[in-house]
A and B are shown apart, each in its own frame.
Chain A
Amino acid sequence: MPTHTAAVRQKDRGRRTWLFWVTVWLAAGCGSKTPPKQLESAESWAATTRELAIQRRVGSVGRAYTEDMLEAGRRDVREIATAIDLSKLPPDARAAVPLALARLDTLMRQTAESVRRGDVVALGLDAAAADALGDTLRALRTKAGGE
């Protein structure tokens, strides 16, 4: 009888261990990113905006795709702006980061409008602005301790 109880206990412990690891794993899927990682992601969206503007300008990508992509990017950038922990940034970057993220959001909206209007000149300007903003975000990421 005691052997049986010990076996049941061991089985329960085994189950709990598995449950723990599965929970940890699932929780990890929703885990948060560090500020340099978040800025890297924003930087990638600036580069994507630039590429979308260039490719749409020469008609290589569809209009619906470009607009959807920019809208999805804006959602991600706004999410980054809300989630980023400014206290983990160096003091001289704390004001600049939200500003750069807001500029990126505006630029993506502006690029989507250029796409809707079919304005190739504006798309060229948007691409150049996205390039410059990408440099700004890269500098901020470096300040924040990114590689």
Chain B
Amino acid sequence: MKRLLDLTLGIVTSIGGFLEAGSIITAVQGGAQFGYQLLWAVAVGTLGLMLLVEQSGRLAAVSGRTVGDALRERFGINFFVIPLVIGLLVSFLVLASEIGGVALALQMATGIGFQWWAMPVAFAGWFLLWKGTFGVVEKGSSLLGLVTIAFIVAALKLHPDWGRVGAGLIPTLPAHDGPRYWYIAVSILGASISPYLYMFYSSGAVEDGWGVSDLPTNRATAVLGMSFGGVLSAAVLIVAALVFLPRGIQVDRYEQSALLLTPVLGHPGFVLFLASLGIACFGATVEITLSMAYLLAQGLGWDWSENAKPRDNTRFSLAYTVAILLAGAVMAAGVDPLRLTSFSMMLTAASLPVTVIPMLVLMNDEALVGEHRNRWFGNVALGALSVLATAVLLSAVPLQIIGGG
């Protein structure tokens, strides 16, 4: 019974924690400009994340090591510095954009500029991390994040043509604005397969003391939780395709996306959008902050645990304190949240090879995962993802130049 409850909670938290500033805005932009045509990018991103979450959870459950620990031990500190620095840099930008997402939701609700909300939001996130345990941080924000199911309700109420929705799952070349199409496609991939998500997941598995007996739960959480999460992202894109595309609304400012649910749900739609944005971004804010502190602590060999008191892990607590307050300061300085989000999603996509390719080695290392190492399917899928990640890295700079405007 307890196992079933854990499984349900794991799946529910995966759904509630799936959407964040990047996945919302990239799906809205994709739907508003290209209709259902970019649904395949959401599907590929979700499959990629599902794969990495399952494998990083398996690694943690079998070896008792997080992805960060395993990377450092297997490849040495000289190699580990690369994913460490890139991971921290990218996560910092994503963190700032998530704080921007919460601050924008508050701006739209109150009329007070987002810059004024940035530091209070950062402080609220820090307070939760300082006082809360891992369970509170992970499950609390994710359960509240279930409000994002409003996007699925709106998509169903709009009665999309399911045949055309299905056709969107097959990659096709765009009829217009090719560079922009590929730019958004890569951004969707970056928003879906964020390294912080599986780094956080593997750290969480170690925090919760997972063992081999938790492998079925891990697989079910990865497959079902990420699938439902992907459906949420797809719902955002479908609603944008049905609401914004026919009206000719593109999203040049994040705030325009708040009009997404009102034609379908009226005033409650406006409130639900703000709640979804605020809660989803706040959940992502605390998770990314924690993920950065985990990565740094694991890389430098510090003691780390969100379940321990801050005074017992001073360097770990200091790391998340500095990260969240600095990111808050970036937004308080008035950086455009949409530009920052788009840029950080592109950067996230470009950074994927650094963590995805070494996973191939880790998941085949008998010393680490023993008999639970990857079979042919896992290796082929991860290999394909590595090729995709490399292609994304190579195309990121030209796409940012010609399609990012």
Residues of A bordering B, CB below 8 Å: 21, 24-25, 28-29, 31-33, 37, 40-41, 43-48, 50-52, 55, 58-62, 64-65, 67-69, 72-73, 76, 134, 138, 147
B255 touches A29 (CB 8 A): no
| Given A40-B250, A47-B248, A147-B176: A64 touches B255 (CB 8 Å cut-off) | no
A22 to B253, CA, bound (A): 25
Which residues of A sit under 8 angstroms from B339, Cβ to Cβ? 29
A43 touches B248 (CB 8 A): yes
| Given A28-B401, A55-B262: A41 touches B252 (CB 8 Å cut-off) | yes
A32 to B339, CA, bound (A): 14
Residue from the list B110, B255, B269, B343 in contact with A72, Cβ < 8 A? B255
A147 to B181, CA, bound (A): 14
Which residues of B sit under 8 angstroms from A43, Cβ to Cβ? 248
B259 touches A52 (CB 8 A): yes
* B267 CB–A CB distance under 8 Å: yes
Which residues from 256 to 277 on chain B have a C-beta closer than 8 Å to any C-beta of chain A? 256, 258-259, 262-263, 266-267, 269-270
* B283 CB–A CB distance under 8 Å: no
A69 touches B255 (CB 8 A): yes
| Given A51-B247, A68-B107: A60 touches B252 (CB 8 Å cut-off) | no
A36 to B186, CA, bound (A): 24
- A51-B263, A76-B253 given. 12 additional CB < 8 A pairs? A24-B401, A25-B396, A28-B400, A29-B339, A43-B248, A44-B248, A60-B262, A67-B111, A68-B111, A69-B253, A76-B252, A147-B176
* B177 CB–A CB distance under 8 Å: yes
B339's nearest neighbour on chain A, judged by CB, is A29
What is the CB-to-nearest-CB distance from A76 to chain B, in angstroms, rounded to a whole number? 6
A51 touches B109 (CB 8 A): no
B250's nearest neighbour on chain A, judged by CB, is A44
* B76 CB–A CB distance under 8 Å: no
- Chain B 140-170 interface 0/1 with A at a Cβ cutoff of 8 Å (1 = within): 0000000000000000000000000000000
A61 touches B258 (CB 8 A): yes
B250 touches A64 (CB 8 A): no
Which residues of A sit under 8 angstroms from B258, Cβ to Cβ? 61, 65
Residue pairs across A and B with Cβ atoms less than 8 A apart, 22 shown, are A21-B397, A25-B396, A28-B400, A29-B404, A37-B405, A41-B252, A44-B250, A47-B249, A48-B259, A50-B247, A55-B262, A58-B266, A59-B267, A61-B258, A61-B259, A61-B262, A64-B110, A65-B108, A65-B109, A65-B111, A69-B253, A147-B177
Main secondary structure on A side of the interface with B = helix
A28's nearest neighbour on chain B, judged by CB, is B401
A69 to B253, CA, bound (A): 9
A28 to B263, CA, bound (A): 35
B343's nearest neighbour on chain A, judged by CB, is A29
A59 to B266, CA, bound (A): 8
Residue from the list A24, A41, A50 in contact with B397, Cβ < 8 A? A24
B270's nearest neighbour on chain A, judged by CB, is A61
Closest 3 CB pairs of A and B: A64-B111, A47-B248, A28-B401
Residue from the list A21, A29, A69 in contact with B256, Cβ < 8 A? A69
B255 touches A68 (CB 8 A): yes
B405 touches A55 (CB 8 A): no
Which residues of A sit under 8 angstroms from B267, Cβ to Cβ? 59-61
Which residues of B sit under 8 angstroms from A45, Cβ to Cβ? 252
Which residues of A sit under 8 angstroms from B270, Cβ to Cβ? 55, 60-62, 65
A29 touches B248 (CB 8 A): no
A55 to B250, CA, bound (A): 17
A47 to B262, CA, bound (A): 15
A55 touches B263 (CB 8 A): yes
A72 to B336, CA, bound (A): 12
Residue from the list A29, A55, A72, A147 in contact with B253, Cβ < 8 A? A72
B405 touches A51 (CB 8 A): no
What is the CB-to-nearest-CB distance from B270 to chain A, in angstroms, rounded to a whole number? 5
A40 to B259, CA, bound (A): 19
Which residues of A sit under 8 angstroms from B259, Cβ to Cβ? 48, 51-52, 55, 61
Which residues of A sit under 8 angstroms from B249, Cβ to Cβ? 44, 47-48, 51
Which residues of A sit under 8 angstroms from B405, Cβ to Cβ? 31-33, 37
| Given A25-B397, A44-B249, A147-B176: A62 touches B256 (CB 8 Å cut-off) | no
What is the CB-to-nearest-CB distance from B220 to chain A, in angstroms, rounded to a whole number? 39
A5 to B339, CA, bound (A): 42
